[in-house]
Amino acid sequence: MIQLDKKETTDHLYLEVYRYYRDLIQNGKMLPGSKMPSLRKCAQELKLSRTTIENAYLQLAADGYILAKAQSGYYVTEISVHQRQKASSRYSQSVNVRFDFSSAGVDRESFRFDLWSRYIKSALRQDQRMLTYGEVQGEPDLRQVLADYIRHRRNIQCSPDDIVVGASVQCLLQVLCPLLKSRYHSVSFPNPSFVQGSTIFQDFGFQLHYRDKNSQVIYVSPAHMTKWGEIMPVSRRLELLEYASQRESLIIEDDYENEFVYLQKPTPSLFGLSGGQNVVYIGSFSRLLLPSIRISFMVLPPSLLDAYRKKADFYNQTASKAEQIALCQFIRDGHLASQTRKLKRLYAQKGKQLCQILSTVFGKEYSIKMGPAGTSLALTLPCVVSTDIVHKETEKKGLRIPVLSETADTKTFLLSYSAMEVQDFLPACHILKETLQSLSVS
């Protein structure tokens, strides 16, 4: 059994447990299909909290080493990590993949490349401006436009001086973490899937937890609470704000996919509900424009602004100056608002069409989870074979589809429909059905 240094922090203990089981699996000492010790048993044997063990197991599951089965526990997955990495490489490079439900990209017909190129060319014609480095905090005219944009769309009242622009959420967190370190020491994420974010906090020495309301920093995505589009209701948002206020915690609100709420009115942002107190708001444009247009931004509360201004000159701007100038005018001319309306209609319609096709193809043998927002749904189907066999067989037939969870006799698949063309829905679903049918009788 693992030997732990109890003088280490809870975070380091969680990582030790994670690495111990990871190495056992990689070295073949825990075989595919073997059951992991229960959370309670493992916690008792190691004399650690159940939360520490659960965090380790969640990270193992996120990295593909183990899989949770309802009412049963955690099990080692079918293939080793080395095999998984090779399969993943083949998977991503395979020219045979015609239908991809795993992509969270954008619909290829939704973006006007000709229009965007005109704004980029216009930015590049500003010779004098392009001869200098960009503003550390982001171009002033873009920050003014962003302040107007989020005031109108998210009821966020802020000054352009409160906004920091960066190339990505990860870049912004690299600026944010040093501002927090003197006061906060632990951070909680909803789940281990946002590795790009949690890694930054770990690199700065934060204790990392999942779904732990006692953490000093709470990272949430209220418009993307589940992969199938559940959103945080207003009552829960108010409870979270009250709880954070009482404990003097900081909330980081990643407003990912807030634009794609179809079945109810958009819910107010945490930043807006709090009046800007103890909430950092983060927004980006990768889902509205293109993933390759690397511009994100954050709004800092008053409690962090002085600390940022003292450190700002130590950073370089990571977002392209030309793209900032182009985006500023693109928003001013109303194209971002038009693009948002267009995508909202498009993705709502694509979701309905996919649901209709699933009903036609699978009849009564399926169930769907689909929230009021987002561009994905969860599809549960009867299936008794392993996840790895399903992946292998569907890939052979040109279909890429991730498994979200499983039980002894079902699989829940995650279907992202934003990037897939509508005419591909039917053949892709037929491939899935035929594959599962053939596996059930083999």
CATH number of the CATH domain containing 20: 1.10.10.10
In a shared domain, residues 270 and 124: yes
In a shared domain, residues 211 and 309: yes
pTM of the predicted protein model? 0.79
pLDDT in tens, the chain (442 residues): 566 655 544 446 778 888 888 888 877 778 777 889 998 888 888 888 888 888 888 878 777 788 877 677 888 886 444 444 444 444 444 447 889 998 778 888 888 999 999 999 999 999 889 988 889 999 999 999 999 999 999 999 999 999 999 999 999 999 999 999 999 999 999 887 788 888 899 899 999 888 888 899 999 999 888 889 899 999 999 999 999 999 999 999 999 888 888 767 778 999 999 988 899 999 999 889 988 899 999 999 999 999 999 999 888 999 999 999 999 999 999 999 999 999 999 999 999 999 999 999 999 889 999 988 889 999 999 999 988 899 999 999 999 999 988 888 999 999 999 999 999 999 999 999 999 999 987 6
In a shared domain, residues 55 and 164: no
In a shared domain, residues 232 and 356: no
Q: Give a yes or no: residue 90 inside a domain.
A: yes
The kind and range of the H/E element at 400 are: strand 399-400
Residue 133: its pLDDT value, please?
86
In a shared domain, residues 162 and 298: yes
Exposure pattern of 119-151 as b/e (b: 16+ CB <10 Å)?
bbeebeeeeeeeeeebbebbbeebbbbbbebbe
Amino acid at 377: L
- Give the three-class secondary structure for 379: strand
Spatial CA neighbour of 354 closest among 405, 401, 420, 263: 420
The set of residues, in sequence order, having a beta carbon less than 8 Å from that of 354 and lying 6+ positions away, is: 377, 415, 417, 425
Q: Give a yes or no: residue 2 inside a domain.
A: no
Q: Give a yes or no: residue 4 inside a domain.
A: no
In a shared domain, residues 21 and 148: no
Residue 78: its pLDDT value, please?
65
CA–CA separation, 322 vs 285, rounded Å?
16
Parallel, antiparallel, or unpaired: how do β-strands 250-254 and 279-284 relate? parallel
CA–CA separation, 142 vs 150, rounded Å?
12
CA–CA separation, 319 vs 71, rounded Å?
47
Q: Give a yes or no: residue 178 inside a domain.
A: yes
Contact at 8 Å (CB) between 146 and 329?
no
Domain boundary among 338, 360, 388: 338
Q: What residue spans of 248-334 are helical by DSSP H? A: 270-274, 302-311, 321-332
Residue 1: its pLDDT value, please?
58
Which 8-state DSSP code applies to residue 224?
-
In a shared domain, residues 330 and 365: no
In a shared domain, residues 67 and 96: no
CATH number of the CATH domain containing 241: 3.40.640.10
Q: Which domain holds residue 58?
A: 10-76
Contact at 8 Å (CB) between 72 and 38?
no
In a shared domain, residues 254 and 157: yes
CA–CA separation, 404 vs 75, rounded Å?
15
- The structure tokens 């309306």 sit at 341
In a shared domain, residues 27 and 149: no
In a shared domain, residues 159 and 136: yes
In a shared domain, residues 225 and 321: yes
Q: Give a yes or no: residue 391 inside a domain.
A: yes
Number of folded domains that form the chain: 3
CA–CA separation, 276 vs 279, rounded Å?
6
